[in-house]
Amino acid sequence: MADNQRQVTHLGERDCSIQRRHQKVLEEAPCPVMTKRLRDKMGRAAMRAAQVVGYSNVGTVEFLLTPGGQFYFIEMNTRIQVEHGVTEMVTGIDLVKESIRLASGERLGSPRRQLEINGAAIECRVYAEDPHTHLPSPGIVTNHHSPGGLGVRVETALYDGYRVPVHYDPLIAKVIVHAEDRAMAIRRAKAALREYLVDGIKTNIPLHLQILDDTDFAAGQFGTDFLGRFEPRLEVVSGRRAKAS
């Protein structure tokens, strides 16, 4: 976040490694392999980038992180991102409100708020697509029932009778959960997804449950190639191509 007087602060990181064809599928905060030293170093780099270009308002600086702990700048998104909810859940800061406030010329305030990350948050992007082939699944939504309860937040425009078109992004809902730690957040996300009912179309909810059940995901050991293990694999058998299980 930055104001017009070039005061800048950062709100920690989001891990967006779970993606398919550069399309994010699941995001979380904090990153499971982040250390305080790395967070401080990465945060300073992000703030410096905003200051150098004179940026003001809320934005996201994206980096690639190597297994060795080096990070490299990718781009800056000068807007509120789809996954902003996980940052809100772990910091208690309304980013949309802050964006409007900063756009009106208000200052960040002094002294700057010390960054505090409270617990862990996970966002599952629910897409209208076949969970196995990833083909779009347009149609009319029936029997829509979103999950609820402690630490569960759902953002969607779905309702019974809603027609999902084929022409746009397949994102139809965001299931965001918050808990005291990452293990509890994973359990809460699985419970919320199992409770989520969307009939009439196919969704990628089964894929999310596969991800959340994966032992490497639970251990925080994954990269941008993670979803490849759930993709249909082709192998040659007796001169013919067949799908491997």
Report the CATH number at residue 160. Answer: 3.30.470.20
* Averaged pLDDT for residues 190-200: 98
pLDDT of residue 112: 54
60 domain residue, yes or no? yes
Please count the structural domains in the chain: 1
Burial class (CB within 10 angstroms; exposed 0-12, middle 13-18, buried 19+) of 214: middle
Please write down the HEC assignment for all residues of the chain. Answer: CECCCCCECCCCCCEEEEEECCEEEEEEECCCCCCHHHHHHHHHHHHHHHHHHCCCECCEEEEEECCCCCEEEEEEECCCCCCHHHHHHHHCCCHHHHHHHHHCCCCCCCCCCCCCCCCEEEEEEEECECCCCCCECCEECEEEECCCCCCEEEEECCCCCCEECCCCCCEEEEEEEEECCHHHHHHHHHHHHHHCEEECCCCCHHHHHHHHHCHHHHHCCCCCCHHHHHCCEEEEECCEEEEEC
237 domain residue, yes or no? no
Read off the pLDDT of residues 146-171 as tens digits, 9 standing for 90 and up: 999 999 999 999 999 999 998 888 99
pLDDT of residue 240: 38
Read off the pLDDT of residues 77-128 as tens digits, 9 standing for 90 and up: 999 999 999 999 999 999 999 999 999 999 997 545 678 999 999 999 999 9
**In the chain, % of residues over pLDDT 70:** 93
241 domain residue, yes or no? no
pLDDT of residue 230: 78
244 domain residue, yes or no? no
151 domain residue, yes or no? yes
Read off the pLDDT of residues 171-188 as tens digits, 9 standing for 90 and up: 999 999 999 999 999 999
Catalytic residue, candidates 6, 48, 79, 113: 79
Q: What is the average pLDDT value for the chain, to the nearest integer?
A: 91
pLDDT of residue 21: 84
239 domain residue, yes or no? no
Whether 231 has a pLDDT exceeding 80, the answer reads no
Whether 43 has a pLDDT exceeding 80, the answer reads yes
Whether 234 has a pLDDT exceeding 80, the answer reads no
Provide the pLDDT confidence category of residue 199 given band limits of 50, 70 and 90: very high
Provide the pLDDT confidence category of residue 237 given band limits of 50, 70 and 90: very low
Residues of the domain holding 136:
15-228
Beta carbons of 125 and 82 less than 8 angstroms apart = yes
User: In terms of pLDDT, which residue wins out, 175 or 239?
Assistant: 175
pLDDT of residue 166: 86
CA distances from 51 to 5, 11, 48, 111, 189 (A): 10, 16, 5, 18, 37
217 domain residue, yes or no? yes
- Is residue 39 annotated as part of the catalytic site, yes or no? no
36 domain residue, yes or no? yes
